[in-house]
Structure 1
Amino acid sequence: MPNLAGRRGCPVQQQSEFAGSVAMVTGAGQGIGAAVVRALVAEGAVVAAVDRNAGALEALVAEVPGVRPYVLDVSDAQSVEKTVELIEEQLGSIATLVNVAGILRTAPVVELTDADWADTFAVNTTGVFHTSRAVGRRMADRGRGAVVTVGSNAAGVPRAGMAAYAASKAAATMFTRCLGLELARSGVRCNVVSPGSTDTEMQRALWGEDAEASEQRVIDGDLGSWRVGIPLGRIAAPADIAEAVVFLASDRARHITMHDLYVDGGATLRA
C-alpha cells in the first residue's frame, strides 16, 4: 500500500514538542494548576505535579494517569531543592517549570494581619523564587528551558481588599522578568501569564451563596469598589489560562521572554 502521508487530504500527525519532556507544575492539586497539568499531559509531557495538599494530588493522579505527584510546600527552600533534585533523578531534566501555587488572604490594609501578609508573600512570591532558583540554575547549565509564572491582573491594577495578594503577584511578576533577563543568554525563557477572574475554588470563595448572581456581578463590574467588568462577558475557565501557559512554554513562543500576558477577557482594559 502506498504511503499517503503528506498528500493533499491526508494530514500528517506531528508529535508534540512536549512529548517525553519533563514539566514541573506547582499548585497542581486544583484550579489553574490542575488545568495546566492536564494540558501538558495532553501534549505528551511527563508531569511532576507539585502541591502541599496530598489529597488533592491523589485525586489528580486518579483522574490523569501518568502524572507523578510530589508533596511540597514551596515556601520551604530546603524542601524545594530536595524535591527538584528528586524529580530530575526519577523523571529526567526539567524542561518546563510552571509556577502556579498561590494563596489569597483578603482584608482592608488597616485590618490585614502580619501573618496574612507574611503567608501570602511566602507562597506567592518567595515560593516562586525558591522553585525558579532551583530549576533555573539547572536549566541555565543545560542551555535550555522555559519558566512560566502564573501571576494576576491584580498585579497591575489596584484591588480593594486584596493588597497583599496584588503586591505579592506584582513582586512575582517582576522577579520572573528579571530572571528572564539574567537567563536569556543561557537560552532559558521566562514569562508570566496574568489571569483575571477565573472559575476556581479561590474565586468562588469570594462569592456569596448565589454563585450565578455573584458571577454576573464580576462580569458586570462594581463601581462601588472601582472594579471594571469583563468586556468579553464571561469568566475564564482554568483551561483558558492553561492554553496560554502551554503556548508560552512551547517553541511557538521561542522568541518571547520577559513577557506578561494578560488573560482576563479585557477586564483591565490593557492594550
Structure 2
Amino acid sequence: MTSGLAGKVALVTGAAQGIGAAVAAALASEGCRVVGADRTRYPGGSRGGGGVVLDVRDSVAVERVVDSVEATAGPIDVLVNVAGVLTTGPVVELRDDDWTTTFDVNAGGVFRVSRAVARRMVPRRRGTIVTVASNAAGVPRSGMAAYAASKAAAAQFTRCLGLELAEFGIRCNVVAPGSTDTPMLRGMWHTEADHDATLRGAPHQYRVGIPLGRLAEPRDVADAVVFLASDRARHITMHDLYVDGGASLRA
C-alpha cells in the first residue's frame, strides 16, 4: 500500500526548526503540499505550500491562517501539531505565568488549531490530525511538571477529538517522542554530563536512560508522524505512539 499522501495539503505548526522542520520535510518528500506555520517566518517555499507566521495562542489568528491556507493551498488534509515550549524547574519555584504560558501553547495551541481544522474537515468527511506530545506525558519527570502536564493534556485532548471525529472518517493520533536531538533538548544541557545522563539515566531523579543507547533524531519522530498520517495507518485512531528508544519502558 502506498502512503496516499501525494497531492494532499498538510499544515504543520512549529515548523521552523527541530521536529517540526523534519515533519514538514518528510511530508513534502511523500508528495504533500506543506504549509509550515511558526511564530517566526518559516522558510517553507521548498515544501510547495509556503510558510505562515502564526501564534497558536491567538484564536483569531488561527482561524484567519486556516482560512488563508485553505484558500491558497487547498483544503487541509493533514494537520500536525508540533508547536511547543519547554519550561523547567521545581514546582515550588514555578511562576503563574510559566504554567499559564506552557499550557497556552502546548495544550491550548493544539486545541485551537485542531478545532479550526476539524471544523473544516467534518463536512468533507476526511482528514487526519497528528499531535506531537512527549513521553513525559506518561512518565513523571522531576523539574518538568508544567511541560509534562501540558503534553498529557494535549495527548488526551487529541484522543477525545479522535473519538468525536471517528464517525466522519477523520483519524486523530499522538506521537510521543523521548529525548530528541533538537535545540530544545540541547538548551537543557549545561555540561557533557547532562548529555551522558540523558543516555544513561539519572537515578537520583528516578529517570531511566534510553535502552537503545542513542538520542532520537528529528527524522525518527517525523517518520512516525508520516506513518500515522498515511493510508498505511488507515485503521488506527486515538493511538499514542511512543518514539523514545524504550526510555519509558512502556508495556
* TM-score normalised by the chain length of structure 2: 0.97
1:153 aligns with 2:140: no
SS in 2 for 1:257: coil
| Match 2:84 to one of 89, 95, 102 | 102
1:35 aligns with 2:35: no
Return 5+ residue gaps in structure 1 as ranges. 1-13
Measure how far apart 1:19 and its partner are.
1.5
Maintained 8 Å contact 1:215/1:235: no
1:225 aligns with 2:205: yes
Measure how far apart 1:216 and its partner are.
2.2
CA distance, structure 1, for counterparts of residue 210 and residue 148 of structure 2: 18
The superposition leaves residues 60-109 of structure 1 with CA deviations (integer Å, 9 ceiling, x where unpaired) of 54xx3534100000010010000000000001000000000000010100
Measure how far apart 1:209 and its partner are.
4.2
CA distance, structure 2, for counterparts of residue 46 and residue 28 of structure 1: 14
1:131 aligns with 2:116: no
Alignment partner, residue 9 of structure 1: none
Matched letter for residue 262 of structure 1: Y
Maintained 8 Å contact 1:84/1:134: yes
**More contact order relative to length (CA 8 Å, sep ≥ 6):** 2
Measure how far apart 1:20 and its partner are.
1.4
Matches within 5 A, 1:8-157: 17-54=4-41, 57-58=42-43, 61=45, 64=46, 66-157=48-139
The superposition leaves residues 27-48 of structure 1 with CA deviations (integer Å, 9 ceiling, x where unpaired) of 0000000000000010110001
Alignment identity in percent?
A: 63
The superposition leaves residues 128-162 of structure 1 with CA deviations (integer Å, 9 ceiling, x where unpaired) of 00000000111111000000000000000000010
Maintained 8 Å contact 1:23/1:47: yes
Matches within 5 A, 1:181-200: 181-200=163-182
Aligned structure 1 segments of 4 or more residues deviating by more than 3 angstroms? none
Return 5+ residue gaps in structure 2 as ranges. none
* TM-score normalised by the chain length of structure 1: 0.90
Deviates more, 1:238-247 or 1:135-144: 135-144
Count residues in correspondence: 251
SS in 2 for 1:193: strand
SS in 2 for 1:173: helix
Once superposed, what is the RMSD of the aligned Cα atoms?
Answer: 1.3
